[in-house]
Amino acid sequence: MAAVFVDRAGEWKLGGLDYMYSAQGNGGAPPHKGIPELEQYDPPELADSSGRAVREKWSADMWRLGCLIWEVFNGPLPRATALRNPGKIPKSLVPHYCELVGANPKVRPNPARFLQNCRAPGGFMNNRFVETNLFLEEIQIKEPAEKQKFFQELSKSLDSFPEDFCRHKVLPQLLTAFEFGSAGAVVLTPLFKVGKFLSAEEYQQKIIPVVVKMFSSTDRAMRIRLLQQMEQFIQYLDEPTVNTQIFPHVVHGFLDTNPAIREQTVKSMLLLAPKLNETNLNVELMKHFARLQAKDEQGPIRCNTTVCLGKIGSYLSASTRHRVLTSAFSRATKDPFAPSRVAGVLGFAATHNLYSMNDCAHKILPVLCGLTVDPEKSVRDQAFKAIRSFLSKLESVSEDPTQLAEVEKDVHAASSPGMGGAAASWAGWAVTGVSSFTSKLIRTHPTAAPGEPNISQRPTPEGLPAPAPTPVPPTPVTPGHWEAQEEDKDTAEDSSATDRWDDEDWGSLEQEAESVLARQDNWSTGSQASRVGQPRPDSWGDDNWDGLETESRQVKAELARKKREERRREMEAKRAEKKAAKGPMKLGTRKLD
């Protein structure tokens, strides 16, 4: 072993040059050994001074390879006779070892045959580690399909490989494959796995630049892999990098036509929110959340948006919390998707310390009381729990008004990251449970914009959730639900209104209802796949769905007609008032049609 030198990656370097001498010659003298102890590694035929032993050009080298194998498993070789006892050499390697140290130099295998024998099925070198090394040596000449398969299977083996080999041999190849090759998203999983072996400084130097570059990729598979595995590298991202190089690319996912990417983008905000600056968190992110909660056609995505808002509520500024939370959770309680209504209730409960007593009494409790007659029992159960919690809070202050300052200390406080952990446990089912089968429920994908590839029209890449064929009926929505919302809204709002978090914007779902009814085909097909919850056996059978949807359309059309008629009468009344205010026409004037 003293003749073998390796680098940190385990690569062999030249060594054992004791038998070498200058190409210009050495005064005619034969080469001499620099280390006398090397005589123990000489094959027996060298002791034959007659030179009549029949040998091959590799005979001596293969004998010494046998000596090396013996030393690897048994320690330094004391004498040549010790080679007769294999010692701790693995049984699968012993037959091939015996061929190397055979007394007859003529029958010793050449290097190629030795490797071939060892790599036979069940052989000592027939394993994933050897195959990985050989592939990495030839990776530059491999076909793209071969590289894809190699990187997909690499992650399973990294745990059994030496740490130094992963850091110094595999990692450079992964970085090179991403930078100059066409490996794409499949590099991410093994890359982050190897990254666990790096120090924080090495991670910043080697991994983070690649991650930042990946976020700017337009490859959907790459984007969703990054979002899914963000937890592995978020701790290494500093705030300036997140705000200037990561977040501007991530927000495009909120507008993506693929529901799986929108969902993963929402969930990634749980990790990014603590690192976002004032503008990105309180303005840009809230604008996207408002749009998703009001307009997204996928119920689980609206639900997860509400859940995420409840979890990051403590990071928002005091003014944003006061303006956003009550309105957003109130809107969620009117969502036709039952888990969204539950999420709205749990959102109120999780952020209870962020509301003033007046808000609890005048804004929150009335909303929660309305949910005590919700068609879904899960919604009613959570509503009663939340009501009891808020009532207890109000009663404690009523009994002892001196507690008011203590109870409301968080209402006007600045954003406090420490509170995020307390809210992190609430409604965990909504992010993990609902989202785990969101992709299974999504069967009909929105049509991609012209020139934009639709991910549903091509093979689903590894890691991208695949749709499932079994649809689930949506939560029934009674016509009275829509009528109540119709009465609450006096004027139609601009299409951009949902980008804001004003109370009037969040007070009604009428605009969403109109867009939903306009996309009736999506509701009748894709909506069944995008909603969860079974119909109530006592009132909502499968044969009721078509009648319910037809009735909803008729009710909606009638309400719209009545509204147009009321507006026409109002306009005529205003014109009549203006005409009466001008008085009778003066002489000499002519009426112009």
**Are 349 and 389 in contact, with CB atoms under 8 Å apart?**
yes
| pLDDT confidence band for 166 (50 / 70 / 90) | very high
Same domain? For 97 and 144 the reply is no
Give the mean pLDDT of 49-73.
84
Dump the DSSP string for 501-517.
--HHHHS--HHHHHHHH
Same domain? For 344 and 412 the reply is yes
CATH number at residue 383: 1.25.10.10
Return the percent helix, strand and coil in the chain, to nearest 5: 65, 0, 35
Rounded CA-CA distance 360/348 in Å is 10
pTM here is: 0.59
Q: Over the stretch 441-478, which tens digit does the pLDDT of each residue have?
A: 333 333 333 333 333 333 333 333 433 333 333 333 33
Give the range among 126-140, 205-219, 490-504 with minimum mean pLDDT: 490-504
> Last residue of a domain, which of 399, 420, 436?
436
Q: Over the stretch 427-440, which tens digit does the pLDDT of each residue have?
A: 443 444 334 433 33
* Positions of E strands within 381-469: none
In the block, tokens 């209104």 appear at 497
Give the range among 87-91, 118-122, 220-224, 370-374 with minimum mean pLDDT: 220-224
> Last residue of a domain, which of 85, 107, 126?
126
pLDDT at 543 > cutoff 60: no
- Listed ranges 45-54, 277-286, 405-414, 518-527; the one with the highest mean pLDDT: 277-286
Give the mean pLDDT of 564-569.
84
- Has residue 390 been placed in a domain? yes
- Has residue 489 been placed in a domain? no
* pLDDT reported for residue 462: 39
Is the model more confident about 233 or about 20? 233
* pLDDT reported for residue 391: 93
* pLDDT reported for residue 187: 83
| pLDDT confidence band for 89 (50 / 70 / 90) | very high
Q: Which of 221, 261, 237, 232 is nearest to 445 (CA)?
A: 261
pLDDT at 583 > cutoff 70: no
Overall number of domains in the chain: 2
Q: Over the stretch 194-227, which tens digit does the pLDDT of each residue have?
A: 988 888 888 888 888 888 888 888 888 888 888 9
Same domain? For 183 and 65 the reply is no
* pLDDT reported for residue 419: 43
DSSP 123: -
* pLDDT reported for residue 178: 78
- Has residue 347 been placed in a domain? yes
* pLDDT reported for residue 111: 93
Could you list the residue range(s) of the whole structural domain that residue 289 is in? 137-436
Rounded CA-CA distance 593/591 in Å is 6
* pLDDT reported for residue 528: 37
